[in-house]
A and B are shown apart, each in its own frame.
Chain A
Amino acid sequence: MTSVAAAQAPAPDITRQLGAIEARDFSFWYEKKQALKNISIAVPPRAVTALIGPSGCGKSTFLRSINRLNDLIPGIRHEGRMSLDGQNIFEKSMDVVALRQRVGMVFQRWNPFPKSIYENVAYGPRINGIDSQVSLDEIVERSLRRAALWEEVKDRLRTSALGLSGGQQQRVCIARALANQPEVLLLDEPASALDPSSTQKIEELVYELKQELTIIIVTHNLQQAARASDHTAFFFLGELVEFGPTDQIFTRPREERTEAYITGRFG
């Protein structure tokens, strides 16, 4: 596996896992309502996969199953298999806390803690027991650089993250997720509440980051999916209708429903 990783990406740290997400016949229920129906997909590692589809089609549910953030909702149930690097993430021996450190997540509405920029980014590493100032300084700088935010905030690290612009706050959240050195980054409509130039920054960032991690991005913005992703999965009413290279999905969709959606006939 290591050799494959090395061949695919000239990442600085090749000992890391690949970050391959695979679902097989994965179904998911909220109480009696089935949100996902027999989803089978192998998300390509070290690439950007966009999940598209109308509201309520299950794409967010799928995303939140990967880091088991749905666990807290009462009455949920699942069947089938979801794995990270070959390990079933729902099996009993799975440490959910460790899983969430390997699978970072960024939300639609930026949600920095009401703390300083520095403390936000250092939050994840701190719980992993990293408390030497030197290591934390280094992690914070590296993460903010990777989130393309360092130059903008390096002189005000100790000020509140809530004082930044929306786009900057979202990048603080990305840096906060990156500080854990995840293999997978889940983005739940990360730019839908941002202005065009902030959106562009996030997309450029996604393009940079895919060399080092697997990125799955939920988006309602089809142009964004077309621009920023390598692969696209179209969800409809809880089913995975079509999955393939983004070019193919947008130019020669195989399924009629995919074509109808991307040409704007519904959704």
Chain B
Amino acid sequence: MKTRLARHWISGSMIGLTYLAAVLATLPLLLILAHLIRKGAASLSLSFFTHMPGPVGETGGGMANAIVGTLILISIACAIGLPIGIGAGIYLSEKRSMPLAQSVRFLSDVLNGLPSIVMGIFAWTLLVRPVGHFSALAGGGALGAMMIPLVTRTTEEMLRVVPTSLREAALALGYPRWRTSLSVVVRTALAGIATGALVAVARIAGETAPLLFTALGNQFWSTSLREPIAALPLQIFAYAISAYDEWHAQAWAGALVLISIVLVISLAARVVTRSKFGAPVD
């Protein structure tokens, strides 16, 4: 029989282990951040955001085109991924047990697990090859397609936790079903849906593989949707595998900017979620 002391000791060390695991879970992010700041902060200046990439051998220069390009690509992806994803999520939560809903749900999960390089090749076949050239549109399309299943599933989950009692309250007051869904169910879950959308944006912002065969990247300033466009992940990739120290430094700085964008979006998602509970009601 174990003594009381032994039980006490085992309990204490088990709790200690879980603490350790919790700390280890966040360690990679902290290490990455520290490393990026150490390597990238030196090359980071205002001109990094306002200047174009410089020629080899010259210090300075920035990634203005890539930062703007990433923002454009994210916008295109949102224009495609959000309406389809949110719409499909509403459908899944409204028609939970229909056979079509069940297959859509299953396929969304499969799509969620699809390697992003496959998505890139797919987008190339569909959006690049028929047109004959790489374009921002194709890159945004690939990212948008990646967003769809993410947004679909989070939207459905968020709608699902809206209590049935609220839905019934509106129906019992004589609200038509579509209006109940939109004005009561979706509105109640709006903060959650917005969070899901922001998480999806954060996720695709750093994707490189789907852009390799679609947006391609661009050393010059371009905001045309029909032309190849620069993107931060692509620029980082190109600079990181280059042979020049200046470019390596620029790649570190680009990585730091990219991770900052993702962190800011994630933080925004947290703030939006919190306001769900503390928000003053109308």
Contact = CB atoms under 8 A, between A and B. Distances in A.
Contact of B173 (A72, A160, A162, A176): A176
Contacts of A254: none
Interface string A89-126: 00000000111110011010101111110010001100
Given A115-B282, A116-B281, A127-B179, A107 B168 contact: yes
17 contacts: A69-B172, A97-B175, A97-B176, A98-B174, A100-B171, A101-B173, A107-B165, A107-B168, A111-B166, A113-B170, A123-B170, A124-B173, A124-B174, A127-B179, A160-B280, A162-B281, A180-B174
Contacts, number: 64
Nearest to A127: B175
Contact of A177 (B166, B173, B184): B173
Interface of A: 67, 69, 72, 74, 97-101, 104-105, 107, 109, 111-116, 119, 123-124, 127-128, 160, 162, 173, 176-177, 180
B12 interface: no
Nearest to A124: B173
B26 interface: no
A109 B165 contact: yes
Interface residues of B, number: 20
A123 B173 contact: yes
A101 B168 CA distance: 13
B130 interface: no
Contacts of A69: 168, 171-172
Nearest to B177: A72
Contact of B282 (A74, A119, A128): A119
Contacts of A119: 281-282
Contacts of A99: 174
A107 B163 CA distance: 13
B275 interface: no
A81 B81 CA distance: 48
A60 B250 CA distance: 69
Contacts of B165: 107, 109, 111
A67 B174 CA distance: 9
Given A113-B166, A115-B282, A160-B281, A105 B172 contact: yes
